[in-house]
Structure 1
Amino acid sequence: MTTMVHASGIRGYLDVMQHIDFDPQSLLEYYGFTVEELYQDDAWLSQRSVVDLLESTAAQAKCPDLGLRISNHQDISILGVLSVILQSAESMRQVIEYTSEYLFLHGPGLVMSLNDPSPLIDDAVEIVFEIRLDDYAPQRQTMDICLGTTHRIFKWLAAEHYELKAVSLPHNPLASLAEYQRFFGAPIHINQERGALHLHRSVLHRQPHGSNAALREMAQDYLARYFRNPKEQISSSVRKALRIHLASARGNKIQVADMLGLHPRTLQRKLASEGTTFEEIKDNIRKEMALQYLWETPIQMSQLADILGFSEQSALSRATKRWYGMSPKALRLAKGQTL
């Protein structure tokens, strides 16, 4: 089944095209979109086609900061009913928790989670993003939109208490770092394990701008009655945990089961009922990340082995041959080919 996302997620695309004097009509037709659809915030679009559209547009229009430009046209209203939920939150921590739990309302292939503490910045927490696709595709512009729009929404909600300490990019950016620093007003770390915003820990305890206690009570009741993510299975929770802790000592079955409050055998049984295993989930994440890093960053093989949680570089080589039939170096040279 094709993963879909609301058209509001690329609100501003047509405005940017007009501003840079680029006609996107042929690209829209190629990826199966109409101008009318892009103006309907609640229209459902193929997420993979949106990701590809943004990458192709950035290349053909020679607009490497396309994602950041689109983000400048977005605000909390792009989230529809989720925006009302977020404005009912009691604290910024609850804003993050609500977003993590209900982002599927905007697009089931978009995942946000909180990693506390941040492994990169002292006295900070990490807001992690993942864009789930059925197969690999460059995601630079889509990740920039996720990071840029969330930054703008959180900055509006936290107001004067907002403090962004750093931004992590899981790729080698096409635009200059100066463009990113100007947009975010914070240090930018490239070629990282995941896309993330690193906020000062104190932000979590701040009350969102315009928070309404009465609205919060109604929103909580409304959510409990009508909105539960049908895809939020144990396997999804395992994937979230592994995406954060893959390279650390916590990226094993016992530790992940403990994070989820389960006995390892119970975790294994629940995963089996969903048709998967802990090892299969971990292997799939490694496979996806290996291709992303080899094709989108100049990362060294030894560093990639560490990021993927392999004990030695030879284990990485064996894995890529099993996944793709070639060594990591050959896989890097095959960039853009159909695998």
Structure 2
Amino acid sequence: MAWIRSAGLRGVRDVVEELGGDADTLATRAGLPRPALDSDELLIRDTAVATMLELAARTLNCPDLGLRVALRQDLDLLGPLAIAVRNSRSIGEALDCTDKYLFVHARSLSVELVADPRNVRGVVGYRYGYPPGITAPPQSIDMGLLFLHRTLVQLNGGQYGLRGVELPHQAVGPMTRYEELFGAHVTAGCAAAVLRVPRSLSSRPIADSDLTARYLALSYLEQHQENAELTVTTRTRGLVRQSLGTGRLDVEATATLLAMSARSLQRHLAGEGSTYGAILDDVRRERAGVLLTETRLPLAQIAAAVGLDDQATFSRYARRWWSATAREIRQRATTPL
């Protein structure tokens, strides 16, 4: 087992407290830091998450606790991966993306396309869980598998033709409860956690996908994969550079790509001696200077390229940045010495 973002605990506090339990006490007993129940950003042991779910289910006599928590979760808990998934061109592309980058959320989890366990023609499986040989407790699997099912429903815009569900453990609650939530036949005690789906599902398009948003999210995920230790300021600057001129320059959009809230992003930046506004202004000045001195683009186009409304606004920024107009900066760069 490995590390997981504390976003995986979304909904746990609400479910536990609705059942009359003390979520903080259970978290402590499970070896979780108390802030993990209310923050998406902590890295915690997935074994501690599994222990929390099993302990809460047993203490509160709630065998379907994992399923209840899954009903409180949505795709957004995956942070930047959610943006890439939601804006993929097809469900197959979305699931491929999930399998490739799920490490951002949980190091050892995967969603893998497999042959149908029952060898039915026209049916394939999506296997959820850890690598072979690693066994996760029932509540964790129930929660994750129902989350995957609900994500597919969302991406498809409705029911997607689920043929059956296979659980790698004996049902911990009434089988009717599983079948009510999945809307299909559920078989317990199987080799792996699998959703059996139509082979054609992977080719179904996702409505209203935004390829620019997907590109930005994937760029961040690649950067995160290669440079996990970069400061928040450096990562923010990289995202602002990538999104400059796309209409996505705001702290909320950037924070989402960084898998944190806007408030948390501002707090991290302040701790590193910076602000979002200062980073945005600096990146704009840097890009505008290059476009002014190394291209012949019209000033209105440069304004758009750095995320400013119009040429007049660009002119005001130029005077503040360089104490000169944009035309004067360009003329200086092109005048022979």
Smaller-chain TM-score bracket: 0.5 to 0.7
Please say if residues 47 and 109 of structure 1, whose CA atoms lie closer than 8 Å, have aligned partners that are also in contact: no
- Asked if residue 165 in structure 1 is aligned to residue 157 in structure 2, the reply is no
Partner SS state of residue 97, structure 1: helix
Q: Which of 151, 174, 177 is matched with 2:175 structurally?
A: 177
Matched letter for residue 157 of structure 1: L
TM superposition score normalised by structure 1: 0.62
1:12 to partner: Cα distance: 0.5
Matched letter for residue 36 of structure 2: E
CA RMSD of aligned residues (A): 2.4
Partner SS state of residue 192, structure 1: coil
The 1-side partners of 2:136 and 2:61 are apart by: 16
- Asked if residue 93 in structure 1 is aligned to residue 102 in structure 2, the reply is no
1:158 to partner: Cα distance: 0.9
Deviation by residue 1:66-112 (Cα, 9 ceiling, x = unmatched): 11000000000010110011122111011110011110000102122
1:196 to partner: Cα distance: 0.9
Partner SS state of residue 196, structure 1: strand
Q: Which residue of 1 aligns with 2:150?
A: 152
The 1-side partners of 2:99 and 2:5 are apart by: 17
Partner SS state of residue 113, structure 1: strand
The 2-side partners of 1:228 and 1:192 are apart by: 37
1:38 to partner: Cα distance: 1.1
Matched letter for residue 150 of structure 1: L
1:138 to partner: Cα distance: 5.3
The 2-side partners of 1:146 and 1:205 are apart by: 23
The 2-side partners of 1:151 and 1:52 are apart by: 23
Distance 1:94-1:229 versus aligned 2 partners, 3 A rule: farther
Please say if residues 116 and 196 of structure 2, whose CA atoms lie closer than 8 Å, have aligned partners that are also in contact: no
Pairs within 5 Å for 1:1-339: 3-117=2-116, 119-131=118-130, 139-160=137-158, 162-227=160-225
Please say if residues 168 and 190 of structure 1, whose CA atoms lie closer than 8 Å, have aligned partners that are also in contact: yes
Greater C-alpha Rg: 2
Distance 1:21-1:118 versus aligned 2 partners, 3 A rule: same
1:130 to partner: Cα distance: 2.1
Please say if residues 76 and 83 of structure 1, whose CA atoms lie closer than 8 Å, have aligned partners that are also in contact: yes
The 1-side partners of 2:131 and 2:12 are apart by: 21
The 2-side partners of 1:224 and 1:22 are apart by: 40
1:183 to partner: Cα distance: 0.6
**5+ residue gaps, structure 1:** 231-339
Structure 1's consecutive aligned runs of 4 or more residues displaced over 6 angstroms after TM superposition are: none
Please say if residues 81 and 217 of structure 2, whose CA atoms lie closer than 8 Å, have aligned partners that are also in contact: no
Please say if residues 118 and 124 of structure 1, whose CA atoms lie closer than 8 Å, have aligned partners that are also in contact: no
TM superposition score normalised by structure 2: 0.62
1:149 to partner: Cα distance: 0.6
The 2-side partners of 1:170 and 1:177 are apart by: 14
Please say if residues 76 and 82 of structure 2, whose CA atoms lie closer than 8 Å, have aligned partners that are also in contact: yes
Distance 1:181-1:5 versus aligned 2 partners, 3 A rule: same
The 2-side partners of 1:225 and 1:136 are apart by: 29
Partner SS state of residue 158, structure 2: helix
